[in-house]
Structure 1
Amino acid sequence: MKTVLCLLCVAVCYAIAGASSLVDGKYSRYIEFPDGDGVMQAVDLLEPVDTELLREVERNPANNNYLLYTRRNRRSSQRLIINNVNSIRNSNFNANHQTVVIAHGWLGNQNTNINPTIRDAYLNKGEANVIVLDWRRLAVSTYPTAAAGVPAVGRGLGQFLEFLHSVTGQPFNRMHLAGFSLGAHLVGNAGRQLGGRVARVTGLDPAGPLWNRNSERLRPTDGVYVEAIHTDGGTTGLGIGTAIANADFFPNGGNSQPGCYNSICNHNRAYELFASTVTRNHLVGRQCSNTAQISANSCRGSSFHMGNDDLNKTGSGLFRVNTGRRYPF
């Protein structure tokens, strides 16, 4: 009996030690996280951050590139420059059309798949000002440095949108900010910079590592309506996996997606699903009372469309939506 108790005590001690060594209460120190092309990269979550780069990002929001696409220039972008009035006035920006800002994730850039996928969904449907935020200056650094700099980049985006508003007169309720992975927390900070006045903020599988206990993560107050789509929120998933918005959607349970066999596919599915809903507005969730219902696929509450481009959309709660294996899902 004493031997059994001793062995049990040892097991408990090891379990406690293992839990205490987790980063952010969930992840091992060494993980793999996908780059902008979906290739897994080794990440040390406790690697020291590049403080010099972070200071530069904080000082100079002009490090971000704002690339405008409209139906008049679907493939060739026009660069909009903060505090440069002519860059706005000489562009195809039209204040009568809604503005959509897209923010990529870690190691991404203007050519990363999320950008043309969402851009084309909007421009194939109708008139819009699609602004691709290329924040590669910071995004190409180590994951801990990029994560630490996300709030500053987000504030820079907010400052740019304030400038855009001052030049064009477009109201903030005509703006929709959508960000993927680290970009989800970035657009949250941009909305916060604007006092939560933008019509919509959409987090596409908001990044999990270093964000579970991070006060700078996406919040429900970052926009008039804030939505999160969780597609890879498992125990060691790339996404945060917990409710952080007004409305949180968990496609197929939020941990693994039909037709996917790894975390990269699950993670990327968030922006693919969103783009498809912009075109079709066809994915409908059912409200859930708790996470157990989400996992058991037993949600029986009211229906609510996931994603889409409706600037007047409002709602709150947890929702499960079941999808197909391949586009348009």
Structure 2
Amino acid sequence: MKVFFLVLVATVYIASALPVEEQRQKHVYSRFIEIPDDEGNMHLVDLEAEPDMAAIEEHTRNPNNNVYLLYTRRNQIFSQTLVMNDENSIINSNFNPNDPTIVIVHGWISSRESEPNPTVRSAFLSTSEVNVISVEWRELAFSDYVTAVNGVPAVGRGIGQFLIFLNRVTGARFDQMHLVGFSLGAHVVGNAGRETGGRVARVTGLDPSGPLWNYNNERLNADDGVYVEAIHTDGGVLGIGLPIVQVDFFPNGGFYQPGCLVTTRCNHDRAWELFAVSVTHGHLFGRRCLTMLQVTTDLCTSDTLQLGNDNLRKTGSGMYRVNTGSRHPF
């Protein structure tokens, strides 16, 4: 009787997971969807709108439309602005080419003050001597969503060119660079790593944006760095719900996060929250899954890999389910 009951429970559990699997596979968005900004305000988006090509072309011509803000342990509160092709801005700053360089990129309708910048920056600076560069691309990020999406490759290429400039001026090594991007910013850092020829040590995509990206060749991919990972927390809604890089982590199945009752923004934000605590605490581990159904049903039994962290020599491959709690530090 006990065995029958366990089989029945397992059958019901797997059956309940099938609609989630179907949602992952369909990757279909309505023409009009609502996407929240970093304060949770909803914006109606027409995914078939025409992008502002003039704004994109301006960013393509002038990579200095990106703003590069340096933070170190010597200036944790007030940033120093680094300017591409201005060697003095680098030489006269606190930038230390002997320390690892962390690049953080925000998402849509966000800026230098938006998450994940403050939290992830603080996490890295609290653990080691690093250069943290927050990239602000607000001119395109504050445009309509379709324009921002189409501008992502230009923004990313500009960042990649800046990193090449930084390497040339200071000798900062690509194998000491870690690029971290949230939502649209995840695809930005993918393009940045690609511009360097995939030479940067790590690229981390925090819940890479889903709308208009499922079949987009410019999205974050496995060749953008030596090691590329993604943390999926709102798959099929604001984020991509399927594996796209070398290592894909699916906290709690990758759709719904503990403690997030109704807002999809909560699920989306959980990616950078989990990554930040992985840098400071290092306690989150995923178990490798052979199929997406195993991810959804929490039936993964293979080896483990740490989610996130700040290890520049991290390696791995495959899909990993990570089970977490509902409150910090999860």
Q: Name the TM-score, length of structure 2 as normaliser.
A: 0.91
Aligned pairs, how many? Answer: 304
Query: Letter of the aligned partner of 1:180 in structure 2?
Result: F
Query: Letter of the aligned partner of 2:71 in structure 1?
Result: Y
Match of residue 79 from structure 1: 81
Query: Letter of the aligned partner of 2:279 in structure 1?
Result: V
Deviation track 1:287-326 (CA, whole Å, cap 9, x = no partner) reads 0000000011010000100100000001000000000101
Alpha-carbon distance, 1:280 to partner: 1.0
Deviation track 1:213-264 (CA, whole Å, cap 9, x = no partner) reads 1000001000000000000003xx1001110110000000000100002210
Contact 1:32 1:40 in 2 (8 A): yes
Match of residue 111 from structure 1: 113
Q: Counterparts in 2 of 1:28-47, with a 5 A limit?
A: 28-47=30-49
Counterpart secondary structure, 1:82 = coil
Query: Letter of the aligned partner of 1:320 in structure 2?
Result: R
CA distance in 2, matches of 1:40, 1:243: 27
Counterpart secondary structure, 1:212 = coil
Counterpart secondary structure, 1:267 = helix
CA distance in 1, matches of 2:167, 2:253: 39
Deviation track 1:71-125 (CA, whole Å, cap 9, x = no partner) reads 0000100000000000000000011111000000001100002100000001111
CA distance in 2, matches of 1:325, 1:150: 32
Structure 1 gaps, min length 5: 1-23
**1:67 and 2:106 matched:** no
Contact 1:36 1:109 in 2 (8 A): no
Deviation track 1:25-68 (CA, whole Å, cap 9, x = no partner) reads 51001111121323221111111110110110110100000000
Query: Which deviates the most, 41-50 or 305-314?
Result: 41-50
Q: Give % identity.
A: 60
Q: Cα gap change, 1:260/1:25 in structure 2, threshold over 3 Å: closer, same or farther?
A: closer
Which of these residues, 138, 142, 160, is aligned with residue 158 of structure 1? 160
Match of residue 96 from structure 1: 98
Match of residue 122 from structure 2: 120
Contact 1:104 1:179 in 2 (8 A): yes
Q: Counterparts in 2 of 1:208-247, with a 5 A limit?
A: 208-234=210-236, 237-247=237-247
CA distance in 2, matches of 1:106, 1:268: 13
Query: Letter of the aligned partner of 2:143 in structure 1?
Result: S
Counterpart secondary structure, 2:268 = helix
Counterpart secondary structure, 1:274 = helix
CA distance in 1, matches of 2:179, 2:326: 27
Deviation track 1:130-187 (CA, whole Å, cap 9, x = no partner) reads 0000000110000000000000000000000000001110110000000000000000
Match of residue 309 from structure 2: 308
Query: Letter of the aligned partner of 1:165 in structure 2?
Result: N
Match of residue 205 from structure 2: 203
Counterpart secondary structure, 2:76 = strand
Query: Which deviates the most, 108-117 or 30-39?
Result: 30-39
RMSD (Å), alpha carbons: 0.9
CA distance in 2, matches of 1:77, 1:208: 31
Match of residue 9 from structure 1: none
Match of residue 7 from structure 1: none
Counterpart secondary structure, 1:120 = helix
Q: Counterparts in 2 of 1:161-200, with a 5 A limit?
A: 161-200=163-202
Deviation track 1:187-211 (CA, whole Å, cap 9, x = no partner) reads 0000000000000000000000000
CA distance in 2, matches of 1:25, 1:239: 10
Counterpart secondary structure, 2:181 = strand
CA distance in 2, matches of 1:120, 1:194: 26
Runs of 4+ residues deviating >6 angstroms: none
CA distance in 2, matches of 1:129, 1:37: 27
Query: Letter of the aligned partner of 1:274 in structure 2?
Result: F
**1:298 and 2:318 matched:** no
Contact 1:174 1:198 in 2 (8 A): yes
Q: Counterparts in 2 of 1:14-25, with a 5 A limit?
A: none
Match of residue 256 from structure 1: 256
Structure 2 gaps, min length 5: 1-25
Alpha-carbon distance, 1:126 to partner: 1.6
